[in-house]
Amino acid sequence: MSKIRSQEEITARVKALESMLIDQGVMTTQAIDRMVEIYENEVGPQLGAKVVAKAWTDADFKARLLQDASAACKELGIGGLQGEDMVILENTDNVHNVIVCTMCSCYPWPVLGLPPNWYKDPQYRAAITREPRKVLSDSFEFTVPEDVEVRVWDSSSEMRYWVLPQRPRGTEGWSEEHLLKLVTRDSMIGVGPVAKVA
Amino acid sequence: MNGVFDLAGTEGLGPVVVPEAEPVFRAEWEKTVFPMFAMCFRAGFFGVDQFRHGIEQMDPAVYLKSPYYEHWIHTVEHFGEKLGKLDMSELDRRTQYYFDNPDAPLPEHKDDPELLAFVEAVVPAGATAKRESDKEARFQVGDRVRVVRSSPKGHTRRARYIRGAVGEVVLAHGVFIYPDTAGNGLGEDPEHVYTVRFPNSELWGTEHAEPNGSVYIDVWDPYIEILTPSPAAATTTEGAHS
Protein backbone atom coordinates (compact mmCIF):
# COMPACT_ATOMS: atom_id res chain seq x y z
CA MET A 1 0.00 0.00 0.00
CA SER A 2 1.54 3.34 -0.98
CA LYS A 3 1.71 6.03 1.67
CA ILE A 4 0.10 9.44 1.85
CA ARG A 5 2.69 11.96 0.70
CA SER A 6 3.55 15.22 2.46
CA GLN A 7 3.20 18.54 0.63
CA GLU A 8 7.03 18.62 0.32
CA GLU A 9 7.07 15.16 -1.26
CA ILE A 10 4.27 16.03 -3.68
CA THR A 11 6.00 19.29 -4.59
CA ALA A 12 9.23 17.43 -5.45
CA ARG A 13 7.34 14.77 -7.41
CA VAL A 14 5.44 17.36 -9.45
CA LYS A 15 8.56 19.36 -10.18
CA ALA A 16 10.30 16.18 -11.37
CA LEU A 17 7.34 15.29 -13.58
CA GLU A 18 7.15 18.85 -14.89
CA SER A 19 10.87 18.79 -15.73
CA MET A 20 10.46 15.60 -17.77
CA LEU A 21 7.39 16.92 -19.58
CA ILE A 22 9.29 20.14 -20.33
CA ASP A 23 12.22 18.12 -21.74
CA GLN A 24 9.76 16.32 -24.02
CA GLY A 25 8.12 19.56 -25.18
CA VAL A 26 4.76 18.57 -23.66
CA MET A 27 4.69 21.58 -21.31
CA THR A 28 6.31 24.99 -21.09
CA THR A 29 6.24 27.26 -18.04
CA GLN A 30 4.78 29.99 -20.24
CA ALA A 31 1.78 27.82 -21.25
CA ILE A 32 1.33 26.57 -17.65
CA ASP A 33 1.24 30.15 -16.34
CA ARG A 34 -1.29 31.17 -18.99
CA MET A 35 -3.63 28.26 -18.24
CA VAL A 36 -3.50 29.03 -14.51
CA GLU A 37 -4.12 32.73 -15.16
CA ILE A 38 -7.25 31.91 -17.20
CA TYR A 39 -8.84 29.84 -14.42
CA GLU A 40 -7.68 32.14 -11.62
CA ASN A 41 -8.83 35.38 -13.19
CA GLU A 42 -10.94 34.97 -16.31
CA VAL A 43 -13.19 31.90 -16.15
CA GLY A 44 -15.27 31.74 -12.98
CA PRO A 45 -18.77 31.96 -11.49
CA GLN A 46 -19.08 35.62 -12.50
CA LEU A 47 -19.78 34.27 -16.01
CA GLY A 48 -22.58 31.99 -14.85
CA ALA A 49 -24.00 34.88 -12.83
CA LYS A 50 -24.14 36.98 -15.99
CA VAL A 51 -26.14 34.25 -17.73
CA VAL A 52 -28.55 33.87 -14.81
CA ALA A 53 -29.14 37.63 -14.50
CA LYS A 54 -29.88 37.84 -18.20
CA ALA A 55 -32.32 34.93 -17.94
CA TRP A 56 -34.09 36.73 -15.08
CA THR A 57 -34.63 39.84 -17.18
CA ASP A 58 -35.06 38.48 -20.71
CA ALA A 59 -37.80 35.85 -21.14
CA ASP A 60 -36.78 34.99 -24.71
CA PHE A 61 -33.18 34.42 -23.65
CA LYS A 62 -34.36 32.28 -20.73
CA ALA A 63 -36.42 30.13 -23.11
CA ARG A 64 -33.37 29.62 -25.34
CA LEU A 65 -31.19 28.90 -22.31
CA LEU A 66 -33.56 26.19 -21.06
CA GLN A 67 -33.76 24.74 -24.56
CA ASP A 68 -29.99 24.63 -25.22
CA ALA A 69 -27.77 26.12 -22.52
CA SER A 70 -24.53 25.84 -24.50
CA ALA A 71 -25.98 27.69 -27.50
CA ALA A 72 -27.51 30.43 -25.33
CA CYS A 73 -24.28 30.92 -23.37
CA LYS A 74 -22.38 31.15 -26.66
CA GLU A 75 -24.50 34.22 -27.52
CA LEU A 76 -22.74 35.90 -24.57
CA GLY A 77 -19.31 34.57 -25.58
CA ILE A 78 -19.37 31.99 -22.78
CA GLY A 79 -18.48 28.33 -23.30
CA GLY A 80 -15.67 25.86 -23.86
CA LEU A 81 -13.72 23.21 -22.01
CA GLN A 82 -15.86 21.04 -19.69
CA GLY A 83 -19.03 22.82 -20.78
CA GLU A 84 -19.32 21.80 -24.41
CA ASP A 85 -22.80 20.33 -23.84
CA MET A 86 -24.53 22.06 -20.94
CA VAL A 87 -28.03 21.79 -19.46
CA ILE A 88 -29.35 24.39 -17.01
CA LEU A 89 -31.87 23.20 -14.42
CA GLU A 90 -34.57 25.65 -13.41
CA ASN A 91 -35.51 25.88 -9.75
CA THR A 92 -39.20 26.54 -9.14
CA ASP A 93 -41.55 26.82 -6.16
CA ASN A 94 -41.83 23.01 -6.30
CA VAL A 95 -38.38 21.82 -7.40
CA HIS A 96 -34.86 22.42 -6.09
CA ASN A 97 -31.92 21.11 -8.13
CA VAL A 98 -28.40 20.33 -6.95
CA ILE A 99 -25.42 18.96 -8.90
CA VAL A 100 -22.72 16.41 -8.08
CA CYS A 101 -20.34 14.03 -9.83
CA THR A 102 -20.23 10.87 -7.71
CA MET A 103 -17.53 9.05 -9.73
CA CYS A 104 -15.08 11.91 -10.36
CA SER A 105 -15.44 15.69 -10.34
CA CYS A 106 -17.35 16.81 -13.45
CA TYR A 107 -18.38 20.46 -13.20
CA PRO A 108 -19.36 23.14 -15.75
CA TRP A 109 -16.07 25.07 -15.93
CA PRO A 110 -17.09 27.76 -18.48
CA VAL A 111 -19.85 29.12 -16.23
CA LEU A 112 -18.66 28.24 -12.70
CA GLY A 113 -14.86 28.02 -13.05
CA LEU A 114 -12.97 25.17 -11.41
CA PRO A 115 -14.88 23.33 -8.68
CA PRO A 116 -14.36 24.09 -4.99
CA ASN A 117 -12.49 21.36 -3.12
CA TRP A 118 -15.51 20.18 -1.13
CA TYR A 119 -17.29 19.42 -4.42
CA LYS A 120 -14.45 17.03 -5.34
CA ASP A 121 -14.09 15.54 -1.86
CA PRO A 122 -15.37 11.99 -1.21
CA GLN A 123 -17.69 13.24 1.56
CA TYR A 124 -19.88 15.43 -0.65
CA ARG A 125 -19.92 12.94 -3.52
CA ALA A 126 -20.99 10.15 -1.18
CA ALA A 127 -23.63 11.96 0.85
CA ILE A 128 -25.43 14.34 -1.49
CA THR A 129 -27.10 11.52 -3.43
CA ARG A 130 -28.15 9.71 -0.27
CA GLU A 131 -29.18 12.54 2.07
CA PRO A 132 -29.25 15.79 0.11
CA ARG A 133 -31.50 17.65 2.56
CA LYS A 134 -29.28 16.68 5.49
CA VAL A 135 -26.07 17.68 3.67
CA LEU A 136 -27.55 21.00 2.57
CA SER A 137 -28.76 21.73 6.08
CA ASP A 138 -25.74 20.43 8.08
CA SER A 139 -22.89 21.65 5.88
CA PHE A 140 -24.37 24.58 3.97
CA GLU A 141 -26.97 25.87 6.46
CA PHE A 142 -29.44 25.75 3.61
CA THR A 143 -32.90 24.31 4.24
CA VAL A 144 -35.13 23.17 1.41
CA PRO A 145 -38.81 23.17 2.45
CA GLU A 146 -40.32 19.66 2.80
CA ASP A 147 -42.89 20.29 0.07
CA VAL A 148 -40.16 21.16 -2.44
CA GLU A 149 -38.77 18.16 -4.33
CA VAL A 150 -34.97 17.84 -4.20
CA ARG A 151 -33.49 16.64 -7.49
CA VAL A 152 -29.85 15.57 -7.38
CA TRP A 153 -28.15 15.55 -10.78
CA ASP A 154 -25.22 13.12 -10.93
CA SER A 155 -23.04 14.26 -13.86
CA SER A 156 -22.00 10.80 -15.06
CA SER A 157 -21.73 11.70 -18.77
CA GLU A 158 -20.15 14.61 -20.64
CA MET A 159 -23.35 16.64 -20.24
CA ARG A 160 -22.65 19.42 -17.77
CA TYR A 161 -25.50 20.47 -15.47
CA TRP A 162 -25.91 23.64 -13.43
CA VAL A 163 -28.74 25.42 -11.69
CA LEU A 164 -30.86 28.42 -12.61
CA PRO A 165 -31.90 29.78 -9.20
CA GLN A 166 -35.21 31.57 -8.73
CA ARG A 167 -35.18 35.33 -9.04
CA PRO A 168 -35.71 36.65 -5.52
CA ARG A 169 -38.83 38.55 -4.61
CA GLY A 170 -38.38 42.28 -4.15
CA THR A 171 -36.15 42.72 -7.20
CA GLU A 172 -38.83 43.96 -9.60
CA GLY A 173 -37.43 46.57 -11.93
CA TRP A 174 -33.79 45.78 -11.07
CA SER A 175 -31.26 45.99 -13.89
CA GLU A 176 -29.27 42.97 -15.08
CA GLU A 177 -26.07 44.52 -13.64
CA HIS A 178 -27.74 44.97 -10.26
CA LEU A 179 -29.22 41.45 -10.28
CA LEU A 180 -26.02 39.63 -11.17
CA LYS A 181 -24.49 40.65 -7.83
CA LEU A 182 -27.10 38.45 -6.16
CA VAL A 183 -26.10 35.30 -8.03
CA THR A 184 -23.72 33.23 -5.90
CA ARG A 185 -21.64 30.29 -7.07
CA ASP A 186 -23.38 28.07 -4.53
CA SER A 187 -26.82 29.02 -5.87
CA MET A 188 -25.74 27.73 -9.30
CA ILE A 189 -24.47 24.45 -7.78
CA GLY A 190 -27.68 24.20 -5.78
CA VAL A 191 -26.11 24.16 -2.31
CA GLY A 192 -26.97 27.70 -1.31
CA PRO A 193 -29.32 30.63 -1.78
CA VAL A 194 -28.80 33.70 -3.91
CA ALA A 195 -27.54 36.71 -1.91
CA LYS A 196 -30.05 38.53 0.29
CA VAL A 197 -31.85 41.46 -1.26
CA ALA A 198 -30.61 44.45 0.72
CA MET B 1 -14.57 -1.48 -12.26
CA ASN B 2 -16.00 -1.65 -8.74
CA GLY B 3 -13.84 0.78 -6.78
CA VAL B 4 -13.82 3.37 -4.00
CA PHE B 5 -14.08 6.21 -6.54
CA ASP B 6 -17.73 5.18 -7.09
CA LEU B 7 -18.86 6.96 -3.96
CA ALA B 8 -22.61 7.52 -4.08
CA GLY B 9 -24.23 6.39 -0.85
CA THR B 10 -20.96 5.52 0.93
CA GLU B 11 -21.26 6.20 4.65
CA GLY B 12 -18.77 6.82 7.44
CA LEU B 13 -16.62 9.34 5.56
CA GLY B 14 -17.38 12.19 7.94
CA PRO B 15 -19.01 15.55 7.35
CA VAL B 16 -18.76 17.68 4.22
CA VAL B 17 -16.33 20.42 5.24
CA VAL B 18 -16.91 23.75 3.54
CA PRO B 19 -14.35 26.51 4.18
CA GLU B 20 -15.55 30.14 4.11
CA ALA B 21 -13.35 30.83 1.11
CA GLU B 22 -10.36 29.22 -0.55
CA PRO B 23 -8.12 30.02 -3.51
CA VAL B 24 -8.63 28.27 -6.86
CA PHE B 25 -5.30 26.48 -6.27
CA ARG B 26 -4.33 25.70 -2.69
CA ALA B 27 -0.63 25.05 -3.39
CA GLU B 28 1.89 25.99 -6.06
CA TRP B 29 2.21 22.37 -7.22
CA GLU B 30 -1.53 22.30 -8.01
CA LYS B 31 -0.91 25.08 -10.58
CA THR B 32 1.49 22.76 -12.40
CA VAL B 33 -0.70 19.66 -12.24
CA PHE B 34 -3.90 21.33 -13.46
CA PRO B 35 -2.52 22.16 -16.95
CA MET B 36 -1.09 18.62 -17.29
CA PHE B 37 -4.58 17.36 -18.16
CA ALA B 38 -4.92 19.52 -21.28
CA MET B 39 -1.26 19.39 -22.31
CA CYS B 40 -0.78 15.63 -21.87
CA PHE B 41 -4.11 15.12 -23.69
CA ARG B 42 -2.63 17.15 -26.56
CA ALA B 43 0.54 15.04 -26.43
CA GLY B 44 -1.47 11.82 -26.80
CA PHE B 45 -1.17 10.48 -23.24
CA PHE B 46 -4.92 9.80 -22.86
CA GLY B 47 -8.48 10.72 -23.75
CA VAL B 48 -10.74 12.03 -21.00
CA ASP B 49 -12.27 8.61 -20.28
CA GLN B 50 -8.82 6.98 -20.04
CA PHE B 51 -7.72 9.88 -17.81
CA ARG B 52 -10.55 8.97 -15.42
CA HIS B 53 -9.74 5.27 -15.54
CA GLY B 54 -6.11 5.98 -14.68
CA ILE B 55 -7.32 7.73 -11.52
CA GLU B 56 -9.64 4.84 -10.70
CA GLN B 57 -6.64 2.50 -10.55
CA MET B 58 -4.97 4.46 -7.74
CA ASP B 59 -4.33 2.88 -4.38
CA PRO B 60 -7.82 3.25 -2.85
CA ALA B 61 -6.55 4.43 0.53
CA VAL B 62 -4.49 7.16 -1.13
CA TYR B 63 -7.45 8.03 -3.38
CA LEU B 64 -9.62 8.78 -0.38
CA LYS B 65 -7.00 10.62 1.67
CA SER B 66 -4.86 12.58 -0.80
CA PRO B 67 -5.42 16.13 -2.06
CA TYR B 68 -7.56 16.11 -5.21
CA TYR B 69 -4.91 17.03 -7.77
CA GLU B 70 -2.72 14.15 -6.59
CA HIS B 71 -5.23 11.98 -8.50
CA TRP B 72 -4.16 13.76 -11.66
CA ILE B 73 -0.45 13.14 -10.97
CA HIS B 74 -1.23 9.45 -10.71
CA THR B 75 -3.03 9.19 -14.03
CA VAL B 76 -0.33 11.19 -15.88
CA GLU B 77 2.32 8.82 -14.47
CA HIS B 78 0.14 5.77 -15.19
CA PHE B 79 -0.15 6.57 -18.90
CA GLY B 80 3.36 8.01 -19.15
CA GLU B 81 4.75 4.69 -17.96
CA LYS B 82 2.34 2.55 -19.95
CA LEU B 83 3.08 4.36 -23.22
CA GLY B 84 6.83 4.51 -22.60
CA LYS B 85 6.72 8.31 -22.45
CA LEU B 86 8.09 8.46 -18.89
CA ASP B 87 11.09 6.59 -17.53
CA MET B 88 9.96 5.93 -13.97
CA SER B 89 13.45 5.42 -12.54
CA GLU B 90 14.46 8.77 -14.00
CA LEU B 91 11.30 10.30 -12.50
CA ASP B 92 12.24 8.87 -9.09
CA ARG B 93 15.78 10.17 -9.44
CA ARG B 94 14.58 13.68 -10.29
CA THR B 95 12.02 13.56 -7.48
CA GLN B 96 14.81 12.89 -4.97
CA TYR B 97 16.90 15.66 -6.54
CA TYR B 98 14.13 18.27 -6.23
CA PHE B 99 13.29 17.02 -2.73
CA ASP B 100 16.89 17.60 -1.67
CA ASN B 101 17.18 20.81 -3.71
CA PRO B 102 13.73 22.43 -3.67
CA ASP B 103 15.07 25.65 -5.16
CA ALA B 104 16.87 23.97 -8.05
CA PRO B 105 15.61 25.38 -11.36
CA LEU B 106 13.55 23.58 -13.98
CA PRO B 107 15.33 22.66 -17.22
CA GLU B 108 16.03 25.62 -19.48
CA HIS B 109 13.56 25.68 -22.36
CA LYS B 110 12.15 27.94 -25.03
CA ASP B 111 8.55 29.15 -25.18
CA ASP B 112 6.39 27.20 -27.60
CA PRO B 113 3.99 29.51 -29.48
CA GLU B 114 1.97 26.53 -30.75
CA LEU B 115 1.39 25.21 -27.23
CA LEU B 116 0.33 28.65 -26.04
CA ALA B 117 -2.02 28.95 -29.03
CA PHE B 118 -3.47 25.55 -28.11
CA VAL B 119 -4.27 26.79 -24.59
CA GLU B 120 -5.87 29.96 -25.92
CA ALA B 121 -7.95 27.92 -28.38
CA VAL B 122 -8.99 24.90 -26.30
CA VAL B 123 -10.31 26.83 -23.29
CA PRO B 124 -13.06 28.71 -25.18
CA ALA B 125 -13.70 25.94 -27.75
CA GLY B 126 -13.49 22.77 -25.66
CA ALA B 127 -13.61 19.33 -27.25
CA THR B 128 -17.11 17.91 -27.36
CA ALA B 129 -17.68 14.19 -26.85
CA LYS B 130 -20.86 14.46 -28.96
CA ARG B 131 -20.73 12.62 -32.28
CA GLU B 132 -22.78 12.74 -35.46
CA SER B 133 -24.45 9.37 -35.90
CA ASP B 134 -27.40 7.79 -37.64
CA LYS B 135 -27.59 5.13 -34.95
CA GLU B 136 -31.17 4.64 -33.86
CA ALA B 137 -32.06 5.42 -30.23
CA ARG B 138 -33.47 2.32 -28.51
CA PHE B 139 -35.23 4.41 -25.87
CA GLN B 140 -37.29 7.56 -25.66
CA VAL B 141 -38.45 9.99 -23.02
CA GLY B 142 -41.15 8.36 -20.90
CA ASP B 143 -39.79 4.80 -21.13
CA ARG B 144 -39.50 2.90 -17.84
CA VAL B 145 -36.13 1.18 -17.85
CA ARG B 146 -33.95 -1.02 -15.67
CA VAL B 147 -30.20 -0.50 -15.36
CA VAL B 148 -28.16 -3.58 -16.26
CA ARG B 149 -26.85 -5.15 -13.06
CA SER B 150 -23.51 -6.67 -14.16
CA SER B 151 -20.09 -5.51 -12.91
CA PRO B 152 -17.72 -4.78 -15.80
CA LYS B 153 -14.04 -5.03 -14.85
CA GLY B 154 -12.70 -2.06 -16.82
CA HIS B 155 -13.86 1.55 -17.00
CA THR B 156 -17.60 2.21 -16.90
CA ARG B 157 -19.82 5.10 -15.83
CA ARG B 158 -22.61 2.71 -14.81
CA ALA B 159 -22.39 3.57 -11.09
CA ARG B 160 -23.05 0.76 -8.63
CA TYR B 161 -25.92 2.53 -6.87
CA ILE B 162 -28.12 2.51 -9.97
CA ARG B 163 -27.41 -1.06 -11.14
CA GLY B 164 -30.62 -3.06 -11.19
CA ALA B 165 -32.70 0.01 -10.33
CA VAL B 166 -35.82 1.04 -12.24
CA GLY B 167 -36.28 4.59 -13.45
CA GLU B 168 -37.81 6.73 -16.16
CA VAL B 169 -36.06 8.26 -19.15
CA VAL B 170 -36.54 12.04 -18.83
CA LEU B 171 -34.08 13.49 -21.34
CA ALA B 172 -32.46 12.25 -24.56
CA HIS B 173 -29.17 13.99 -25.40
CA GLY B 174 -27.97 12.46 -28.66
CA VAL B 175 -24.89 10.34 -29.35
CA PHE B 176 -21.61 10.58 -27.41
CA ILE B 177 -18.29 8.74 -27.06
CA TYR B 178 -18.90 5.52 -25.08
CA PRO B 179 -16.71 5.44 -21.94
CA ASP B 180 -16.88 1.64 -21.65
CA THR B 181 -14.86 1.37 -24.86
CA ALA B 182 -12.97 4.70 -24.96
CA GLY B 183 -11.92 4.48 -21.31
CA ASN B 184 -10.48 1.02 -21.93
CA GLY B 185 -8.54 2.05 -25.04
CA LEU B 186 -11.05 0.34 -27.37
CA GLY B 187 -12.18 3.30 -29.48
CA GLU B 188 -15.05 5.77 -29.35
CA ASP B 189 -17.96 3.48 -30.34
CA PRO B 190 -20.49 6.33 -29.78
CA GLU B 191 -23.85 5.55 -28.15
CA HIS B 192 -27.03 7.47 -27.27
CA VAL B 193 -27.07 9.15 -23.88
CA TYR B 194 -30.19 9.65 -21.77
CA THR B 195 -30.98 11.08 -18.35
CA VAL B 196 -32.89 8.63 -16.15
CA ARG B 197 -34.80 9.69 -13.04
CA PHE B 198 -34.80 7.42 -9.98
CA PRO B 199 -36.94 8.24 -6.94
CA ASN B 200 -34.84 8.15 -3.74
CA SER B 201 -36.93 5.24 -2.47
CA GLU B 202 -35.96 3.12 -5.50
CA LEU B 203 -32.25 3.62 -4.78
CA TRP B 204 -32.16 3.38 -0.99
CA GLY B 205 -35.49 1.80 0.02
CA THR B 206 -38.48 3.73 1.28
CA GLU B 207 -37.60 3.46 4.97
CA HIS B 208 -33.99 4.63 4.42
CA ALA B 209 -34.54 7.30 1.76
CA GLU B 210 -35.18 11.02 2.19
CA PRO B 211 -38.77 11.84 1.17
CA ASN B 212 -39.75 13.97 -1.81
CA GLY B 213 -36.54 13.58 -3.75
CA SER B 214 -34.98 11.89 -6.73
CA VAL B 215 -31.66 11.34 -8.46
CA TYR B 216 -31.12 12.15 -12.13
CA ILE B 217 -28.17 10.41 -13.76
CA ASP B 218 -26.98 9.93 -17.33
CA VAL B 219 -26.72 6.51 -18.93
CA TRP B 220 -25.50 5.29 -22.31
CA ASP B 221 -27.83 3.14 -24.41
CA PRO B 222 -26.24 -0.25 -23.47
CA TYR B 223 -26.60 0.55 -19.74
CA ILE B 224 -30.40 0.10 -19.72
CA GLU B 225 -33.12 -2.39 -20.67
CA ILE B 226 -36.74 -1.61 -21.46
CA LEU B 227 -39.35 -2.39 -18.82
CA THR B 228 -42.39 -0.45 -20.02
CA PRO B 229 -42.36 1.69 -23.14
CA SER B 230 -43.45 5.30 -22.84
CA PRO B 231 -47.27 5.67 -22.74
CA ALA B 232 -46.80 8.32 -25.43
CA ALA B 233 -45.20 5.71 -27.68
CA ALA B 234 -48.08 3.28 -27.03
CA THR B 235 -50.59 5.95 -28.01
CA THR B 236 -48.68 6.61 -31.22
CA THR B 237 -48.71 2.92 -32.10
CA GLU B 238 -52.46 2.63 -31.40
CA GLY B 239 -53.00 5.69 -33.56
CA ALA B 240 -51.15 4.02 -36.40
CA HIS B 241 -53.45 0.97 -36.20
CA SER B 242 -56.75 2.84 -36.13
- CA A190 – CA A92 distance, rounded (Å): 12
> Does residue B236 surpass a pLDDT of 60?
no
Searching chain A, which residue's CA lies closest to the CA of residue B215? A152
> Does residue B217 surpass a pLDDT of 80?
yes
Searching chain A, which residue's CA lies closest to the CA of residue B53? A104
Q: Give domain limits for chain A.
A: 1-42, 44-189
Interchain proximity B32–A18, CB inside 8 Å: yes
Burial of B206 (0-12, 13-18, 19+ CB in 10 A): exposed
- CA B229 – CA B221 distance, rounded (Å): 15
- CA A36 – CA B39 distance, rounded (Å): 13
Q: Which CATH class is domain A44-189?
A: alpha beta
> Does residue A198 surpass a pLDDT of 80?
no
DSSP state of B141: T
pLDDT of A28 reads: 98
Give the global pTM: 0.96
Q: What is the pLDDT of residues B162-211, one digit of tens each?
A: 999 999 999 999 999 999 999 999 999 999 999 999 999 999 999 999 99
pLDDT of B238 reads: 44
Which residues in chain B touch residue A35, judged by CB atoms under 8 angstroms apart?
34-35, 38, 119, 123
Which residues in chain A touch residue B125, judged by CB atoms under 8 angstroms apart?
80-81
pLDDT of B235 reads: 57
- A190 three-class SS: coil
Q: Could you tell me the sign of the dihedral formed by the alpha carbons of B30, B34, B39, B41, in that order?
A: positive
> Does residue A54 surpass a pLDDT of 50?
yes
Those of residues 156-175 in A touching chain B at CB distance below 8 A are 156-159
Interchain proximity B127–A84, CB inside 8 Å: yes
pLDDT of A2 reads: 77
Which residues in chain A touch residue B91, judged by CB atoms under 8 angstroms apart?
13, 16-17, 20
Written in H, E and C, the secondary structure of A37-70 is: HHHHHHCCHHHHHHHHHHHHHCHHHHHHHHHCHH
Q: What is the pLDDT of residues B125-159, one digit of tens each?
A: 999 999 999 999 999 999 999 999 999 999 999 99
pLDDT of B242 reads: 35
**For residues A78-105, average pLDDT:** 98
Is A66 in CB contact (< 8 Å) with chain B?
no
Confidence of residue B241 (pLDDT cuts 50, 70, 90): very low
Q: Catalytic residue positions of A?
A: 101, 104-106
Q: What is the pLDDT of residues B177-186, one digit of tens each?
A: 999 999 999 9
Is A190 in CB contact (< 8 Å) with chain B?
no
Longest CA–CA span in chain A (Å) reads: 61
Interchain proximity A82–B126, CB inside 8 Å: yes
Q: What is the pLDDT of residues A127-165, one digit of tens each?
A: 999 999 999 999 999 999 999 999 999 999 999 999 999
